[in-house]
C-alpha cells in the first residue's frame, strides 16, 4: 500500500510466529526475531528470509535484535529469571555466544540500543531502579550500571518492539509506562538521570510510552504508545525537542553573538502531536526529511510534519529503518519492506 510517499510491501518470512524484533542493516540486509527462538535474516532485500537456529533457545521469545552487518547480530530474549538472555553471533548464526543470562528472579530484560560498538540494555525495576546494562564491545560483554533511573511504584518498560531505550546523540533515553508514563534521560556530560512526563497516558499496566525514534539528524525524537488492551483507541504522540541543542547555538555578548557551550543543561521540551489512530508499539524515522512511521497491531501511519496519514490497515509490532528504507514485523510471521519518498 502507498500513501504520503510511504510504501508498505508485504513479504514472505516463511514463519508464522509473532516477530517483535526487527533490525535493518542496509537496503539488502536485515534481521528479525520472535517467539519459539526464531531468528531470520535476509541478504536480498527480503525476497528470501533464512531461518537461523539458536541452540537451546526453542522456547525463548526474542523481542529485540540488533544487526551490525550480514554476519553479526545480538538478540535479546525476555522472560522471568533465566529466560531473560542476550546472545551474539559473528558468523551469520553458525555459532552463538550466550553473552548474558539473568539470574535474578526479580529482573526482566526489555530492549536494547546501540551506537556503534557501544550498547545499552534496559530491564524492569529492581529495588525501585530500572536496570541499565552497558557494553563497549558490540554485545560480547555487559556490565550492570549502578545508577539506573529511579522508578515509581508500578512503573515499568514495554518489551513490545525493542525500542523502549534509545541513543539520541549524546543522550541515553528511556520510555516507560504503567503507573507512571515517563521519559528518563541522561546526557553523557551530565551526572544522574532526569525525568519528564512522556505526554502519553499511563495509569495502568497496559498503558504508556512504548517506543522512541530519533528524528532525522536532529537531537529531537518522537514518542508513541497507548494501551495494548485498546488497540484501536487513539493514543498520544509527542515530539521532544532538545533544549540543549537550541540553547548551545548562540548567546548575546557585547553586542554580538558568540558560541555558547552546550550540554551542561541538557533537556527536552515536549511538543504534543495529534493522536495516532490506535495504540502504536513501534516508531522509526527516515534518515532525511520529516517522515516518521508508527506501527501497531491495528495499522501503520506516517507522520509528514503536519499530521498522521494512514498507510496500511495491516498491523505490525516493530519497525526499523536505515536511510529511507526499512522493515516492519508482526504477528503471524508478518514482515513488510518499507520505503519512503524522503
Quick check: 33 and 75 in contact, CB under 8 A? yes
Beta bridge partners of 222: 213, 239
Per-residue model confidence (pLDDT) at position 342: 64
Mind listing the pLDDT tens digit for each residue in 286-300? 998 789 999 999 999
Q: Given this model, what pLDDT does residue 3 score?
A: 57
Query: How many structural domains compose the chain?
Result: 1
- Cα–Cα nearest to 143, from 166, 121, 160: 121
- Contacts of 256 by beta carbon, 8 Å cutoff, 6+ apart: none
pLDDT tens digits along 241-291: 988 544 444 333 333 333 333 443 458 889 999 999 999 999 999 998 789
245 three-state secondary structure: helix
Distance CA 12, CA 93 (A): 20
Averaged confidence pLDDT in the chain: 92
The CATH number of the domain where 262 resides is what? 2.130.10.10
Q: What pTM was estimated for this model as a whole?
A: 0.92
Of the candidates 218, 319, 224, the one whose C-alpha atom is nearest the C-alpha of residue 268 is 218
Q: Which residues contact 291 (CB under 8 A, 6 or more apart)?
A: 4, 5, 6, 285, 302, 303, 304, 324, 340, 341, 342
**DSSP state for residue 149 in the 8-state scheme:** P
10 falls in which pLDDT band (50, 70, 90)?
very high
Distance, CA of 166 to CA of 214 (rounded, Å): 8
Residue 215 has pLDDT above 60, yes or no: yes
First vs last C-alpha separation in the chain: 17
Nearest alpha-carbon partner for 324 in 335, 340, 309? 340
- In tens, the pLDDT along 90-105 reads 999 999 999 999 999 9
**219, 285 contact by CB (below 8 A):** no
CA dihedral sign, ordered 67, 68, 74, 78: negative
111: containing domain: 2-340
Query: Is residue 52 pLDDT above 70, yes or no?
Result: yes
**Closest alpha carbon to 71 in 20, 135, 14, 138:** 138
Residue 219 confidence (pLDDT): 86
**Cα separations (Å) of 120 from 26, 65, 179, 206, 329?**
22, 13, 24, 24, 22
pLDDT at 267: 81
How many H-runs (helices) and E-runs (strands) does the chain carry? 1, 33
**Predicted pLDDT of residue 4:** 58
Q: What is the pLDDT of residue 221?
A: 95
- pLDDT given for residue 265 in this prediction: 43
In this prediction, residues 122-147 reach a mean pLDDT of 97
Amino acid at each position: 500500500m502507498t500513501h504520503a510517499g510511504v510504501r508498505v510491501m508485504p513479504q514472505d518470512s516463511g514463519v508464522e510466529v509473532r516477530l517483535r524484533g526487527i533490525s535493518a542493516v542496509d537496503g539488502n540486509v536485515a534481521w528479525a526475531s520472535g517467539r519459539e527462538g526464531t531468528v531470520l535474516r535476509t541478504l536480498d532485500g527480503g525476497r528470501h528470509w533464512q531461518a537461523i537456529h539458536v541452540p537451546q533457545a526453542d522456547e525463548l521469545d526474542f523481542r529485540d535484535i540488533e544487526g551490525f552487518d550480514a554476519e553479526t547480530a545480538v538478540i535479546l530474549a525476555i522472560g522471568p529469571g533465566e529466560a531473560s538472555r542476550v546472545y551474539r553471533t559473528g558468523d551469520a548464526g553458525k555459532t552463538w555466544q550466550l553473552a548474558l543470562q539473568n539470574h535474578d528472579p526479580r529482573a526482566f530484560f526489555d530492549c536494547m540500543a546501540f551506537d556503534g560498538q557501544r550498547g545499552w540494555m534496559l530491564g524492569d525495576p529492581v529495588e525501585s531502579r530500572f536496570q541499565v546494562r552497558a557494553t563497549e564491545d558490540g554485545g560480547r560483554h555487559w556490565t550492570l550500571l549502578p545508577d539506573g533511573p529511579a522508578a515509581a511504584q508500578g512503573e515499568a518498560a514495554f518489551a513490545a518492539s525493542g525500542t523502549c531505550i534509545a541513543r539520541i546523540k549524546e543522550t541515553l533515553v528511556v520510555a516507560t509506562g504503567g503507573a507512571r508514563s515517563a521519559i528518563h534521560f541522561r546526557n553523557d556530560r551530565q551526572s544522574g538521570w532526569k525525568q519528564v512526563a512522556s505526554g502519553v497516558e499511563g495509569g495502568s499496566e497496559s498503558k504508556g510510552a512504548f517506543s522512541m525514534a530519533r528524528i532525522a539528524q536532529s537531537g529531537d525524537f518522537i514518542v508513541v504508545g497507548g494501551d495494548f488492551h485498546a488497540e484501536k483507541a487513539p493514543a498520544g504522540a509527542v515530539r521532544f525537542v532538545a533544549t540543549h541543542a537550541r540553547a548551545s547555538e548562540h548567546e548575546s555578548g557585547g553586542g554580538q553573538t558568540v558560541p555558547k557551550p552546550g550540554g551542561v543543561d541538557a533537556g527536552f521540551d515536549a511538543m504534543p502531536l495529534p493522536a495516532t489512530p490506535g495504540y502504536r508499539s513501534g516508531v522509526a524515522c527516515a534518515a532525511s526529511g520529516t517522515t516518521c512511521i508508527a506501527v501497531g497491531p491495528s495499522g501503520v501511519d506516517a507522520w509528514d510534519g503536519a499530521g498522521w496519514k494512514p498507510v496500511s490497515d495491516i498491523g505490525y509490532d516493530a519497525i526499523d529503518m536505515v536511510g529511507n528504507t526499512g522493515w516492519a514485523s508482526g504477528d503471524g510471521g508478518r514482515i513488510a519492506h518499507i520505503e519512503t519518498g524522503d
